[in-house]
Structure 1
Amino acid sequence: MTEGDNSKHVVPIIDMQEFDQEYVDHYRKLREAAEEWGCFRVVNHNIPVGLMTQMKKVVSELFDLPTETKRHNIDLITGSGYLAPNVANPNYESLGLHDLGSPQDLGAFFSQLDASPHQRFEILETYAKAIHELALDLGKKLAKCMGLVADLFKDWPCQLRMNKYHFTPETVGSSGVLIHSDCGFLTIVQDDENVGGLEAMDNFGEFVPIRPWPGTFLVNLGDVAKLWSNGRFRNVKHRVECKESSIRFSIASSILGPNEGEMEAPPELVDTEHPRLYAPIAYEDYRKLRQTKRMATGEALELLRTHS
C-alpha cells in the first residue's frame, strides 16, 4: 500500500495490525521501506486519535507561553531544550525534552514550563508513554526484519521535540526547516493534520510532498539507522517548506543512540559480502561531529567509512 496514486510521489504505508498475523511478507515490506525510502507512514498504531488531538492542543498552549517561560526549557544535550527562531530557521521554534522514558526528564520538563495537572497527567504523560512504546515496537520490528530478535533499543533515550512554524503570506515559498537527515535511529512524526509542507527526498534525488493524513504517523530513519544496518537502511533527507500562510505544528519523537558504549552494526549484519562500512563511534561523539563539521545531511558518516 502506498500514499497517493503516482508511485514516484508516495511513501510506503505500514499497517501495524498486519504484524499480529506474523506473516513474513509484512517484515519484507518494512525492510523494503527502510532500504528504499528511509521513511514510511504508520497506520493502525493503537494510539487514540483523540489523544493525538489533545496533544496538539497542549503543544499549542505551551507555545503560547511567554518567551521567558519557554526559555526555562533548557538543554540536557544541545538541541533538547527550547530553540527560538534564528537566522537559519527564522520561521521555526521548538520545545523539547531529552528522554521520554526518563521520569526525571519528564518531571523537569513539566516544571520548566509550569504545566498544569491536566496537561501533565492526562495528556503529556499518557502521550509520552504511548509514543515511547510505539517507538520501541518499531525498533524491534526493524531489527526483526533484519533477522535479529533482541530488544536492542530499549535503553536508548527517546527525545521529544514539539515544533511550531510561523508561516505568513511573506514566508510562502521559503523554508520552515532546511534540508537535513535526523541524527538518531528513528523519528516518529505526528505532522500537522491540516497544513502540509513536509517533503522527503526519494531515490531519484527529488523531494516528494508528504501529504497530511490525520490519525497516522510518519517515521523517518536517521544516520544511526544507516550505521547500525551497515548501510542497508536509508537516512532520509527531508525539509519543511512554507506552502501557505498558516501556523503549523508537528510533534517528533526520536530514538537517538545508546547513552553508553559505541554504535556499530551487529555482527549478524557483517560478512564477506557485507564488510563493516563504518567505524564504531559513541552516539554523543557522532552528534558532536555532525555539529562541528556542519554536516546536517548525513555526510559525517562518510568520515567513519572503512569500506567503499
Structure 2
Amino acid sequence: MEPQYTHVELLTLNGPEYRRVSTAPPRPPTDEEIPIVDLAPIDGDPAARAQLAHQVRAAAQTTGFFYIKNHGIPPELIESALSQAKAFFHQPEELKDDKVSKLKLMHMDGYHAVGTTQVNKTETKDRKETFTLRYNARNDPTQARDSALAWDDSPLWAGTAHLPHFRDTTIAFWQARLALARKMVQIFALALDLPETYFDEVVTHPGSDGLYVHYPGTPTADHLAKDAVDIDVGIGSHTDIQCFTLLWQDMSGGLQVLSAADEWLDARPIPGTLVVNIGDFLQRLSNNRFRSTVHRVYNRQTTSRYSMPFFLGFNPESVCRVLPSCVDEEHPALYEPISCGERVTVSHNVS
C-alpha cells in the first residue's frame, strides 16, 4: 500500500509554511534519527569536548532532536520539581486562575489554563496547562549579588506562597537548567566551527523560559461530552522559537517528532535523559545546517502526562544573523539579520 500524506500549516516569521507529513502511526526512531549523546565530556579536555561537539553536530543536522545523559542535573532536584508541579496543578482552578494567571498579561510568567493556548491555528486548542518562569536577573547566580538583586520579590510568588518549597525548588531547577544550557551553547559553538566562547556574551541575560506542563488525561469515548469532540492534540504541530530546548518528560510518552522522511517518530521517554531539540534561532544562525524540526504532543492515556521544558535564546537586544562559518560562495546567507527580541515577540503574537 502506498504511503499516505497530508500537510500541516506552520506560522513562521516569513508567513505560513506547509510541511508534508505521513498519516501513518508514529514509529520508533532509529539510533541515528534521535541518538543518545553522553554529556560526561562536557567539562573535559579540548579533545573530549571536540568529540562531543561532533556528535551534537551530527544529531543537529539529521533530525534536530537527541537525548542527553549524564547531564549533571541531580535526579533529586528533578523529582522535587515534578512534585511541586503536581502540587500546583492539582489545586482548584480558582486558586491558579485568581492568584497566578493574571501575571501573564504583564510578562508571560505565571499560569495558562487548559484550552487558553493554540500553538497551531489549523489544529485544535492545546489540551494542556502550564506554569512559566522567565528570566529574572535576581534568579541568575552569574549576576552581581548586590542589594538590588538580593531577592526575587515578583508578585508571581505571592500567588504560590501557600505551597511549601514551590518558589525555592522552581528557581533552583530553573537555575540548574540555565547553567546546563550555557554549557550546551559552548558545545553548539564548537559544532558550528566557532570558538567555544563565541556565544557567551549573548547569553548573559538570555531568553530562558522554564515551564511546568500538565497534559490532563484524555477521557474515553464513553465519557466525552458532546461539546468536547474537538479534544485532540496536547500541543499542536510546531517548531520551537529560540535556540534550543531542554526537555524532561515523564514516562507517559506522547512526544512525536517529524522525521526527514516526513514520518512521525515516537520520541519515547528514556529514564535519566533529557531531550534536546534545535529551535528556529539555531536553524537561522546555521543557514539551515541545523534542523528546527516540527513536533507535537498527544496524550492518549486516561492519566496525566507531565513535562518540564526549558527554552534558551539569546539576550533580547542581540541580533540574530547567519554565522560566518556557515556562509561561503556556494552557500550565501539565507536570512536577514533580526533582533532576538523581535523574533520572540512575533512568534508569541502568532502562537
* TM-score interval, normalised by the smaller of the two chains: 0.7 to 0.9
In 2, the alpha carbon distance for the partners of 1:164 and 1:281 equals: 33
- Partner of 2:82: helix, strand, or coil? helix
Alignment correspondent of 2:285: 228
Amino acid at match of 2:309: A
In 2, the alpha carbon distance for the partners of 1:8 and 1:272 equals: 34
1:77–1:14 distance in 2 versus 1, CA, 3 Å = farther
Match of 1:11 among 24, 34, 41: 34
Alignment correspondent of 2:210: 160
Number of aligned residue pairs: 289
Residues 101 and 132 in structure 1, CA contact (< 8 A), matched pair in contact too: no
In 1, the alpha carbon distance for the partners of 2:28 and 2:220 equals: 32
- Partner of 1:188: helix, strand, or coil? strand
1:75 aligns with 2:104: yes
Alignment correspondent of 1:181: 239
Alignment correspondent of 2:67: 41
In 2, the alpha carbon distance for the partners of 1:26 and 1:96 equals: 31
In 2, the alpha carbon distance for the partners of 1:5 and 1:179 equals: 18
In 2, the alpha carbon distance for the partners of 1:252 and 1:100 equals: 17
Match of 2:341 among 259, 264, 284: 284
Match of 1:136 among 155, 174, 182: 182
CA apart distance, 1:79? 4.9
1:1-308 alignment runs, 5 A limit: 7=30, 10-19=33-42, 20=44, 22-23=47-48, 24-71=50-97, 72-73=100-101, 74-75=103-104, 79-86=108-115, 88-89=124-125, 91-99=127-135, 102-103=138-139, 107-108=153-154, 109-114=156-161, 116=163, 118-121=165-168, 123-148=169-194, 149-152=196-199, 153-155=202-204, 156-170=206-220, 174-192=232-250, 194-290=251-347, 294=350
Gaps of 5+ in 2: 1-26, 117-123, 140-148, 225-230
- TM-score normalised over the length of structure 1: 0.84
The percent of aligned pairs where both chains have the same amino acid is 25
CA apart distance, 1:9? 8.5
- TM-score normalised over the length of structure 2: 0.74
1:288–1:282 distance in 2 versus 1, CA, 3 Å = same
- Partner of 2:341: helix, strand, or coil? helix
Of stretches 283-292 and 204-213 in structure 1, the one that deviates more from structure 2 is 283-292
In 2, the alpha carbon distance for the partners of 1:151 and 1:107 equals: 33
CA apart distance, 1:89? 2.8
1:261–1:136 distance in 2 versus 1, CA, 3 Å = closer
Amino acid at match of 1:274: H
CA apart distance, 1:235? 0.4
Residues 164 and 248 in structure 1, CA contact (< 8 A), matched pair in contact too: yes
CA apart distance, 1:258? 2.5
Gaps of 5+ in 1: 297-308
In 2, the alpha carbon distance for the partners of 1:230 and 1:141 equals: 18
Amino acid at match of 1:189: L
In 2, the alpha carbon distance for the partners of 1:106 and 1:276 equals: 41
In 2, the alpha carbon distance for the partners of 1:5 and 1:270 equals: 35
In 2, the alpha carbon distance for the partners of 1:128 and 1:203 equals: 32
Query: Which aligned segments of 4 or more residues in structure 1 are displaced greater than 6 angstroms?
Result: none
Higher relative contact order (CA 8 A, sep 6+): 2
What does the per-residue CA deviation read over 1:157-204, in whole Å, with 9 as the maximum and x for residues that have no partner? 211111100113337993111101011111101111x21101111111
CA apart distance, 1:91? 2.3
- Partner of 1:251: helix, strand, or coil? strand
CA apart distance, 1:25? 3.1
What does the per-residue CA deviation read over 1:65-115, in whole Å, with 9 as the maximum and x for residues that have no partner? 333332324227775432212274352111102216543796423333226
In 1, the alpha carbon distance for the partners of 2:331 and 2:106 equals: 34
Residues 198 and 239 in structure 1, CA contact (< 8 A), matched pair in contact too: yes
Which protein shows a greater Rg?
A: 2
Residues 203 and 313 in structure 2, CA contact (< 8 A), matched pair in contact too: no
Residues 55 and 127 in structure 1, CA contact (< 8 A), matched pair in contact too: yes
Of stretches 22-31 and 48-57 in structure 1, the one that deviates more from structure 2 is 22-31
1:288–1:44 distance in 2 versus 1, CA, 3 Å = same
- Partner of 1:7: helix, strand, or coil? coil
Residues 93 and 164 in structure 1, CA contact (< 8 A), matched pair in contact too: yes
In 1, the alpha carbon distance for the partners of 2:306 and 2:96 equals: 16
1:82–1:118 distance in 2 versus 1, CA, 3 Å = closer
- Partner of 1:62: helix, strand, or coil? helix
CA apart distance, 1:33? 0.4
In 1, the alpha carbon distance for the partners of 2:32 and 2:80 equals: 31
